[in-house]
């Protein structure tokens, strides 16, 4: 007898017993299950089941309709589905994030994907806080046009859209490093230190030029550090204790460490300040510049090699080697021109509220004032984060203005 495929789609208010009632009928007919998909949105169930049957499937259709009517569910049954039509595995994952995420942004993205012949296989919500995040699994012919289109849509709609290749590589990352200034923390440490010397405005001008890539980082660092000469070294600890983490930083690192990630910082800032972050966040690695101190005061010089653009990439590679992690399983997050080499060397480079020159070199960009979306890009949902936090008593949501 010929094998035929039957597709059943059950919809209605979700309640216990629906799936059991359907599969009881399927079991009685001794069908083979080919595919199942179930989703519940705000209490409304959609359950799709594809089965292979001997014969036409008409008797099965009648029994399924009766069983679903008995549990107050609607069902549609298609008897003409091809058995040999495999479900697409998808080629890319898009994570769309906004605060708020408006329907017009999704419409613009879906329309552009359709123009490119990119099919959307699945959509699911991955976050409702501090951003709304949707994860789309899509099938595309290649990378370049997809990434270009996504970048254009993101800019036009004012949302962040991360693009990654689908597959196990996305979920195999094991090590992450963060830049410190304006990434892991708000503000720039050297500018905070310059407040104590009255030369903050001068330091800010040099910092901005260096971040835009207009000045060599090492030269800019030496010029700025020279302005700190004579500062009481005790100020370093004072500043270190007062650092303000970027919203979501603590949650992000806590979650990644639960998953076994090695977490570190690679900074053009200063070890005497960064060590406070290492202790506070239980980080595994730190690379930063060391300020020279003589007689309890800063000399206006740094000790040893400068952790500049190239130095950051070398530090990431050293951390990965020490941890036994291949470079394609590393993640780097940064915002300035001196982060470019680190971002391109990592398996996944994320530009965080970065200057345009930096975003061009990153795999994806985040333009939200929170670090939590790093988790969503890595395939970790807000529900999973909060379930883990609830289990150890750390769950809390800070109101967002």
Residue 303: beta bridge partners? Answer: 290
Annotated catalytic residue within 14, 179, 335, 363: 179
Question: Pairing between strand 44-54 and 32-41?
Answer: antiparallel
Radius of gyration of the chain (CA): 26
Instruction: Quick: pLDDT tens for 171-183.
Output: 899 999 999 999 9
Q: Mind listing the domains of the chain with CATH numbers?
A: 3-81 (3.30.70.260), 92-166 (3.30.70.260), 175-187+230-392 (3.40.50.1000)
Half-sphere exposure of 10 (CA within 13 A, CB side): 31
Annotated catalytic residue within 14, 63, 128, 181: 181
Residue 137: beta bridge partners? Answer: 93, 122
Which DSSP symbol is given to 327? G
Task: Tell me, yes or no, if 308 is annotated catalytic.
Answer: no
The SS3 call for residue 106 is helix
CB neighbours of residue 64 within 10 Å: 23
For residue 86, is pLDDT > 70? no
Query: Any idea which residue has 């697409």 for tokens?
Result: 88
Residues 322-351 have a mean pLDDT of 97
Question: Pairing between strand 3-13 and 44-54?
Answer: antiparallel
- Separation between Cα atoms, residue 340 and residue 345, nearest integer Å: 9
Residue 133: beta bridge partners? Answer: 97, 127
- Separation between Cα atoms, residue 347 and residue 176, nearest integer Å: 10
Which helix H or strand E contains 332, and what residues bound it?
Answer: strand 330-334
Which DSSP symbol is given to 170? G
Question: Pairing between strand 92-98 and 348-352?
Answer: unpaired
- Separation between Cα atoms, residue 26 and residue 178, nearest integer Å: 52
Q: 287: alpha, beta or left, given left = phi > 0 and alpha = psi -120 to 50? A: beta
For residue 122, is pLDDT > 70? yes
Question: What is the per-residue pLDDT for 212?
Answer: 84
For residue 251, is pLDDT > 70? yes
Residues 139-166 have a mean pLDDT of 94
The SS3 call for residue 325 is coil
Question: Pairing between strand 285-294 and 262-270?
Answer: parallel
Residue ranges in 212-288 assigned as alpha helix (H): 217-226, 234-241, 249-258, 271-281
Instruction: Quick: pLDDT tens for 33-81.
Output: 999 999 999 999 999 999 999 888 899 999 999 999 999 999 999 997 7
Which helix H or strand E contains 370, and what residues bound it?
Answer: none
Question: What is the per-residue pLDDT for 215?
Answer: 86
Question: What is the per-residue pLDDT for 203?
Answer: 93
Cα–Cα distances in Å, from 162 out to 93, 138, 279, 360? 8, 13, 31, 13
For 196-203, the CB contacts below 8 A with 24+ separation are 196/231, 196/232, 196/235, 197/227, 197/228, 197/230, 197/231, 199/227, 202/227, 203/227
Q: pLDDT exceeding 90 applies to what percent of the chain? A: 88
For residue 88, is pLDDT > 80? no
Question: What is the per-residue pLDDT for 200?
Answer: 94
Supply the angle between the helices 103-115 and 144-157 in degrees, to the nearest 10. 150
Question: What is the per-residue pLDDT for 47?
Answer: 97
pTM, to two decimals: 0.90
For residue 82, is pLDDT > 70? no
Task: Tell me, yes or no, if 72 is annotated catalytic.
Answer: no
For residue 4, is pLDDT > 90? no
Question: What is the per-residue pLDDT for 185?
Answer: 98
For residue 1, is pLDDT > 60? no
Q: Which residue has the higher pLDDT, 142 or 67?
A: 67
Instruction: Quick: pLDDT tens for 181-223.
Output: 999 999 999 999 999 999 999 999 998 888 888 888 899 999 9
For 250-255, the CB contacts below 8 A with 24+ separation are 250/281, 251/371, 251/372, 251/375, 251/385, 251/389, 252/371, 252/372, 252/374, 252/375, 253/281, 253/282, 253/283, 254/389, 254/394, 255/375, 255/380, 255/385, 255/388
Question: What is the per-residue pLDDT for 319?
Answer: 98
């Amino acid at each position: 007898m010929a094998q035929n495929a039957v597709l059943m789609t059950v919809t209605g208010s979700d309640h216990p017993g629906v799936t059991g009632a359907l599969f009881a009928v399927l079991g009685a007919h001794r069908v083979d299950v080919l595919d199942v998909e179930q989703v519940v949105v705000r209490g409304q169930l959609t359950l799709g089941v594809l089965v292979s049957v001997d014969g036409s499937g008409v008797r099965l259709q009648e029994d399924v309709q009766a069983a679903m009517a008995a549990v107050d569910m609607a069902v549609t049954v298609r008897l003409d589905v091809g058995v040999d039509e495999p479900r697409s595995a998808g080629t890319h994952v898009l994570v769309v994030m906004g605060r708020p995420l408006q329907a017009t942004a999704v419409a613009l993205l879906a329309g552009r994907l359709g123009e490119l012949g990119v099919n959307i296989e699945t959509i699911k919500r991955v976050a409702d806080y501090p951003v709304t995040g949707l994860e789309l699994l899509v099938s595309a012919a290649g990378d370049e046009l997809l990434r270009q289109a996504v970048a254009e849509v993101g800019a036009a709609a004012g949302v962040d859209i991360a693009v990654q290749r689908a597959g196990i590589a996305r979920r195999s990352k094991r090590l992450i490093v963060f830049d410190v200034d304006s990434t892991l923390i708000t503000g720039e440490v050297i500018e905070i230190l310059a407040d104590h010397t009255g030369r903050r405005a001068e330091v800010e001008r040099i910092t901005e030029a260096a971040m835009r890539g207009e000045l060599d980082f090492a030269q800019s660092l030496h010029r700025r550090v020279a302005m700190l000469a004579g500062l009481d070294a005790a100020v370093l600890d004072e500043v270190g204790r007062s650092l303000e983490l970027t919203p979501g930083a603590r949650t992000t690192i806590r979650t990644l460490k639960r998953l076994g990630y090695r977490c570190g910082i690679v900074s053009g800032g200063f070890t005497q300040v960064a060590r406070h972050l290492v202790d506070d966040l239980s980080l595994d690695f730190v690379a930063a510049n060391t300020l020279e101190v003589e007689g309890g005061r800063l000399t206006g010089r740094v000790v040893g090699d400068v952790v500049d653009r190239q130095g950051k990439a070398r530090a990431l590679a050293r951390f990965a080697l020490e941890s036994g992690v291949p470079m394609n399983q590393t993640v780097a997050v940064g915002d300035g021109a001196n982060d470019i080499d680190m971002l391109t060397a990592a398996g996944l480079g994320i530009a965080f509220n970065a200057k345009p020159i930096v975003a061009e070199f990153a795999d994806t960009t985040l333009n939200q004032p929170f670090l939590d979306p790093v988790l969503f890009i890595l395939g970790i949902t807000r529900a999973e984060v909060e379930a883990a936090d609830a289990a150890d008593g750390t769950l809390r949501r800070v109101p967002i203005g």
